[in-house]
Structure 1
Amino acid sequence: MIPRSTYVRAGRHELHVTEWGERGGPALVMWHGLARTGRDFDEAAAALADSYFVICPDTLGRGLSSWSAPGGADYSYASFGETALAILDHYGIGELRWVGTSMGGLLGVTLAAGALKDRITHLVINDIGPDIPEAGTGRIASYVGNPPVCDTVAELEAWLRTNYAPFGDNTDAFWRRMADTSARRTDAGKVTVHYDPLIVTQFTLHKGDLDVWDKYDAVTAKTLLLRGEASDVLSGSTAEAMTRRGPKPKLVTMPGCGHAPTLASEGEIAMLRGFLG
């Protein structure tokens, strides 16, 4: 399965979207985490494209999408939600299923409780919750806000393997693809990550985006909650509380990883297929 690359206008922004499957089929949106891109879902999107029209956007400031105005003011769930709605309008999508990893999961919660409450039928929340431990946000902010500058893509791949070690035991092909889709050249010809360092303002300018218990409690979509067994972003106690509130999802704990499960293995893809179906 070969993906298609599309660009969608959303106000003053240009959003990059990776498409899989036939347009017009049941829609599945897969939204990535804080410092990642839509290409993280390649394995799952390729597999699920036999049943869905899968769209994997690059969030503002990441991948091939445009960056915020100076200061990072656009790196908020309000702005991300507006771009999500613009993408859906571009394709003429009504009802949809949503799989969100980390930041993409909380964005899904926000939309499923608000602008897309009557349109998101199935929601997968991958290793994130309405209450995030400071240790987890601190760890992520420390490397996201201090991106590496490398001489080669091979060095960047080594950096990714170290900083994303909680992803678990993935294949060499996965890590190479991650390096390929995470790299950009600086003006000096060096290699760095494919995002605006100011995306870290999510933790400073927009702290309210991370406090979403009220929105979570308003979600009515059929929901599945995933947690990496060693996650420092979704604690076991918060995950258990989530099963008793709001959409009362089934909780699946994924062995051998922390934050966050990549959803790239055959078993993970089969689990998604069963839930989404």
Structure 2
Amino acid sequence: MNEPRQSSILCADAQGLHRMAYVEWGAADNPNVVVCVHGLTRQGRDFDSLAQALAADFRVVCPDVVGRGRSDWLADPTGYQVPTYVADLVTLIAALGLDPRTPQVDWVGTSMGGIVGLALASMRDGRGHSLVRRLVLNDVGPAITADSVQRIGNYLGQPKRFASEQEAADYFWSISQGFGPHTPKQWLALSRPQIKRDGAEWISRYDPGIALPFKAANAATARIGEALLWQRYDSLTCPTLVLRGAESDLLTRETAEAMTQRGPKAKLVEIAGVGHAPTFVAPDQIAVVREFLKPS
């Protein structure tokens, strides 16, 4: 496997500055850019298979959202929220050297990364333009089930130490079986970027502090958040693709079908045998995204 280029940018937060790491694939001067953003506890190398498949046609940029992967951790964990992530990704897009007259990117967002993309795509500049040209929402929408929130909350923010990479991979599989079938080799490849050495052991590459704002949410704030996200979704005008794991406990079929009728009237594709969320390792999943994003 060819290795991607690694880089980072400096971003501002309420307490000062932090660095956000990212990798990129494909020609650095390709004006067709895809930004791929991961889920809540994951990191940008989740998209290696998809990025390699897209690299002939796109410059593919895969950040580690702050607090994850190789990016810095925030001094104040209450900052681990969508507005911070949106601001950081705007900083990243500005740093990519795109045409300032039309600085648009395509967006592939899994779970949390999809929420960030939805929020960013709904924002307009002074000329009424969005930074997002085409939007892929991977197993996420404006409404998120209480069951999935409880499931994620059961493991989020709990520091774990592992004696080996394989032990870490086995643990991640125990909390991620919704990702669907993977070979042992595929799963180990997805798991390795999730961990780093700490002495003789291995630990996860995310700040346990990301659990603080997640667990501070309640039914009332969830209702407000859902209403705001539907409002933002209804304002979208960009072509939108919704992928749903057919067995997802986070994105219900009812919500996904509503997304085909409201706002941008998204195209919906369900992935059989997968829950939350498709990983874009399987060729059929990659093909769906390639077809949607293919340059005109």
TM-score bracket for this pair, using the shorter chain length: over 0.9
My pick for the range that moved more, 196-205 or 244-253, is 196-205
Verify the 8 A CA contact 1:122 1:276 in the aligned structure 2: yes
Unaligned runs of 5+ in 1: none
Tell me by how many angstroms 1:210 deviates.
4.6
Partner of 1:75: 80
User: Which residue identity is paired with 2:266?
Assistant: P
Does the alignment pair 1:90 with 2:58?
A: no
Measured in 2, the distance between the counterparts of 1:262 and 1:115 equals 30
Structure 1 range deviating more: 264-273 or 140-149: 140-149
Contact 1:225 1:250 in 2 (8 A): yes
Q: 1:231 aligns with which of 234, 248, 253?
A: 248
Note the C-alpha offset of 1:115: 4.9
The one-letter code matched in structure 1 to 2:94 is D
Structure 2 counterpart SS, 1:185: strand
Q: Which residue of 1 aligns with 2:109?
A: 100
> Partner letter of residue 95 of structure 1?
Q
- Higher mean C-alpha displacement, 101-110 vs 143-152: 143-152
CA distance in 2: counterparts of 1:201 and 1:251, whole angstroms: 33
Identity %: 37
Deviation at 1:149, TM superposition (A): 1.8
Partner of 1:268: 285
2: distance between equivalents of 1:147 and 1:258? Answer: 25
- TM-score (norm: length of structure 1): 0.94
Mapped to 2, the partners of 1:58 and 1:132 lie a distance apart of: 23
Residue 241 of structure 2 aligns with an amino acid whose one-letter code is L
Contact 2:136 2:243 in 1 (8 A): yes
DSSP-derived class of the 2:108 partner: strand
Q: Is the 8 A contact 2:110 2:277 kept in 1?
A: yes
- Equivalents in 1 of 2:201, 2:147: separation in Å? 31
* Residue 63 (structure 1) aligns with: 69
Uncovered stretches (5+) of structure 2, i.e. residues with no partner = none
| Equivalent position of 1:5 in the other structure | 6
Question: Which whole-Å CA distance do the structure 1 matches of 2:145 and 2:4 have between them?
Answer: 36
Q: 1:115 & 1:166 partners in 2: Cα distance?
A: 35
Distance in 2 (alpha carbons) for counterparts of 1:202 and 1:257: 28
Deviation at 1:73, TM superposition (A): 1.9
CA contact (8 A) 1:75 1:202 kept: yes
Q: Name the Cα RMSD after superposition.
A: 1.6
| From 218, 230, 240, the counterpart of 2:257 | 240
> In the aligned structure 2, how far is the partner of 1:160 from the partner of 1:57?
21
- In the aligned structure 2, how far is the partner of 1:23 from the partner of 1:205? 40
CA distance in 1, matches of 2:71, 2:7: 10
In structure 2, C-alpha distance between the alignment counterparts of 1:115 and 1:167, rounded to whole Å:
34
Distance in 2 separating the partners of 1:249 and 1:270: 17
1:113-152 superposed matches below 5 A: 113-115=122-124, 118-152=130-164
User: Which whole-Å deviations, capped at 9, do the CAs of 1:59-110 have from their partners, x for residues lacking one?
Assistant: 010000011123x122111110111011111112311100000000011000
Shift of 1:27: 0.6
Q: 1:137 is matched by which residue type in structure 2?
A: V
Distance in structure 1 (CA, Å) of the matches to 2:24 and 2:10: 16
Find the residue that maps to 1:160 and give its secondary structure.
helix
TM-score scaled by length of structure 2: 0.89
Whether the aligned pair in 2 keeps the contact of 1:67 and 1:196 (CA below 8 Å) is yes
1:177 and 1:48 mapped to 2: Cα distance?
19
Give 1:20's aligned residue. Answer: 25
Deviation of 1:179 (Å): 2.2
* 1:187-221 deviation line (CA, Å, top 9, x unaligned): x6432211001112342456569521111111111
Pick which of 189-198 and 121-130 moved more.
Answer: 189-198
Alpha-carbon distance in structure 1 between the residues aligned to 2:28 and 2:164: 38
Gap change, CA 1:50 and 1:197, over 3 Å in 2:
same
Residue 36 (structure 1) aligned with residue 42 (structure 2): yes
Segments ≥4 residues shifted beyond 3 Å: 204-210
Aligned equivalents of 2:52 and 2:6: distance in 1?
14
Identify the match of residue 209 of structure 2 among 189, 195, 198.
198
